[in-house]
Amino acid sequence: MVGRASLWLGSGLVLTGCASFNAQPLTEDELRSQVQADRQQLAQDVVPLPATVTLEEAIARAIKYNAVQRLRAMEEAVAHNSFEASKFDMLPKLVASAGYRDRNKDLITRSEDSVTGRPSLAHPYISTEKESTLYSLGFSWSLLDFGQSYYAARQNADRALIAEERRRKALHNLVQDVRTAYWRVAAHQALQASMRGATESADLALADVRKVEAEKLRSPLEPLRYQRQLLENLRLLETIEQELSPARIELASLMGLAPGQAGGAWKVVDPAPGAHQSWLQRPVEEMEALALQRNPDLRESQYGARIARDETKRVLLRMFPGLSFNYALNHSTDSYLINDSWREAGVQISFNLLGLLSVPAQNRLAKAGVALADQKRMATQMAVLSQLHIARLQFANAAHQYERADVIAEVDQRLSQHVDNQVKVEKQTRQDSVAQQTASILSTLRRYQALATLQSAGSRLQATLGLEPVIEGSDTLPLPELTSAVGQALQRWEAGQLQ
459 lies in a domain? Answer: yes
Phi, psi of 241 (to 5 degrees): -65, -45
Bridge-based pairing of strands 52-53 and 267-268 is parallel
Return the closest-CA partner of residue 246 out of 266, 263, 232: 263
Report angle CA 480, 481, 485 to the nearest 5 degrees: 120
DSSP 356: G
CB contact at 8 A, 394 and 276: no
Inter-helix orientation angle 430-465/143-215, to 10°: 170
What is the Cα–Cα distance from 395 to 388, expressed in whole angstroms? Answer: 10
pLDDT at 386: 92
Burial class of 137 by CB neighbour count within 10 A (0 to 12, 13 to 18, 19+): middle
DSSP 201: H
Task: Give domain status of residue 147, yes or no.
Answer: yes
Q: Is residue 2 part of a domain?
A: no
Spell out the residues 6+ positions from residue 281 whose beta carbon is closer than 8 angstroms to its own. 496
> CA 205, 209, 214 angle in degrees (round to 5)?
145
Is residue 346 assigned to a domain? yes
Question: What is residue 279's DSSP assignment?
Answer: G
DSSP, res 283: -
With contact defined as beta carbons under 8 Å apart, do 323 and 331 qualify?
no
Residue 343: predicted pLDDT? 92
Residue 336: how many CB atoms within 10 A of its CB? 13
Domain that holds residue 369: 49-467+475-494
Q: Does 194 map to a domain?
A: yes
Using alpha carbons, select from 434, 435, 443 the residue that is nearest to residue 404. Answer: 443
The reported pLDDT for the residue numbered 192 is 82
Is 12 contained in some domain?
Answer: no
What confidence score (pLDDT) does residue 331 get? 92
Residues 111, 121: Cα–Cα separation, whole Å: 9
How many independent structural domains does the chain possess?
1
Q: What CA–CA distances, in Å, run from 214 to 66, 210, 220, 429, 494?
A: 57, 6, 9, 19, 59
Low-confidence stretches of the chain (pLDDT < 50) are: 1-2
User: What 3-state DSSP class applies to 137?
Assistant: strand
Residue whose C-alpha is closest to residue 479's, from 171, 57, 44: 57
448, 19, 41, 477: which is closest to 256 by C-alpha? 41
Q: What is the largest CA-CA distance in the chain?
A: 143
Which residues touch 449 (CB under 8 Å, ≥6 apart)? 187, 405
Output the pLDDT for position 471. 67
- DSSP 8-state class, residue 326: E
As a whole number of angstroms, the distance between CA 393 and CA 400 comes to 11
Q: Compute the distance between CA of residue 128 and CA of residue 107 in angstroms, rounded to an integer.
A: 6
Q: Is 237 within a domain?
A: yes
Exposure class string for 168-206: b at 16+ Cβ within 10 A, else e = bbbbbebbbbbbbbbbbbbbbbbbeebbeebbebbeebb
What pLDDT score does 26 carry? 77
CATH of the domain at 179: 1.20.1600.10
For residues 470 and 294, the answer to whether their CB atoms sit within 8 Å is: no
Question: What DSSP string runs through 238-272?
Answer: HHHHHHHTTHHHHHHHHTT--GGGS-SS-EE----
- Quick one: pLDDT at residue 393? 92
pLDDT for res 390: 92
23 lies in a domain? no
d(CA 353, CA 318): 11
